[in-house]
Amino acid sequence: MCADVAKSDTSHQPLAGKVAVVTGGGRGLGQAGALALAAAGAKVALLGRSVAALTETAGQITRAGGVALALPTDVTREDEVVAAAEAVQREWGATEVLFNNAGTALVRPFLDLDTPSLRSLLELNVVAPMVCARVFGAQMIGRRWGRVINMASIVGLVGEANLAAYSASKGALIAWTRELAVEWARHNITVNALAPGYFRTDLNAKALDDPEIGERMLKKIPLRRAGNPAELGPLLVYLASEASGFMTGSVLVIDGGQVAR
């Protein structure tokens, strides 16, 4: 994490003073996104279930001169989301940027997918982002400015074996992103989605480091490598900033060329 978080030059901090919320902000792409938003000048509230992970990410931000708030929250529980939104508003004022990142994946053949697991995944990957957008979006509507950024995936756009539930959830998230973009445009709120491919996160590291599995994964990527989580940051900051003001309902793919094959 660079010292840019502490700079006051707004050319380096396009989000200076903005209030941002990141769900699943304790690790992986959520952590990378939180660090990028903070480096761009945002005050960042981190929501997630792991107190240790949230505290670590918040510590990284504050040690670099940024401002962060760790709020242990199960985003599948609406009462906890409401409590988090109220805490953010008390601390900093209305939320202006929401990065709906929290999610999970199930890797198994479709016929082995039991109904309770399917319902649990859809609750976290689809219902929770909608609830978060409704709760935090009410604050944005009050300010007549906001950015909602949903974490989709390239498997919401193309097929991938053994990811039926995950693929369905990300496809639903993409469809909802486009719908909400149209509905909230009149409030000066943009709604976009990021669709990453394989990134080197804790979730993917074991598979990428397996000689056989990793080789199969990288062969799908024209650039022949996985993404670095930090590479997602600039795109997220762009979507959260004034610079993307005429972009809404878009799905931005960042996958090393995998979908382009």
Note whether 174 and 192 are within 8 A (CB): no
> Long-range CB contacts (< 8 A, 24+ apart) of 3-10?
3/64, 3/65, 4/39, 5/38, 5/39, 5/41, 5/61, 5/64, 5/65, 5/66, 6/64, 6/65, 6/66, 10/41
Note whether 119 and 154 are within 8 A (CB): no
Q: In sequence order, what are the beta bridge partners of 239?
A: none
Helix axes 128-143, 78-92, angle to 10 degrees: 30
Q: Identify the pLDDT of residue 136.
A: 98
Let me know the angle formed at the C-alpha of 189 by 183 and 195, rounded to the nearest 5 degrees: 85
Q: Identify the pLDDT of residue 143.
A: 94
Q: Identify the pLDDT of residue 5.
A: 43
Count of other CB atoms within 10 angstroms of residue 222:
12
Question: For this structure, is 166 an active site residue?
Answer: yes
Of 92, 166, 184, 199, which residue is the catalytic one? 166
What are the residue ranges spanned by the domains of the chain? Answer: 13-201+231-245
Which parts of the chain are beta strand (E)? 19-23, 43-48, 67-72, 97-100, 146-151, 189-196, 251-254
With H, G, I as helix, E, B as strand and everything else as coil, classify residue 169.
helix
Count of other CB atoms within 10 angstroms of residue 160:
15
Model-level pTM?
0.92
DSSP 199: B
Structure tokens belonging to residue 65: 């001169």
Report phi then psi at 239, rounded to 5.
-65, -25
Cα torsion through 196, 30, 134, 114, rounded to 10: 70
Q: Identify the pLDDT of residue 11.
A: 57
User: Does the domain formed by 13-201+231-245 have CATH 3.40.960.10?
Assistant: no
Give the span between the Cα atoms of 148 and 132, in whole angstroms: 10
The sign of the torsion formed by the CA atoms of 49, 51, 56, 60 equals: positive
Q: Give average pLDDT by consecutive 10-residue segment, the chain, 261 residues.
A: 41 91 96 98 97 97 98 98 98 98 94 96 98 98 97 95 95 98 98 96 85 91 94 97 98 95 86
Give the span between the Cα atoms of 231 and 252, in whole angstroms: 13
Count of other CB atoms within 10 angstroms of residue 199:
22
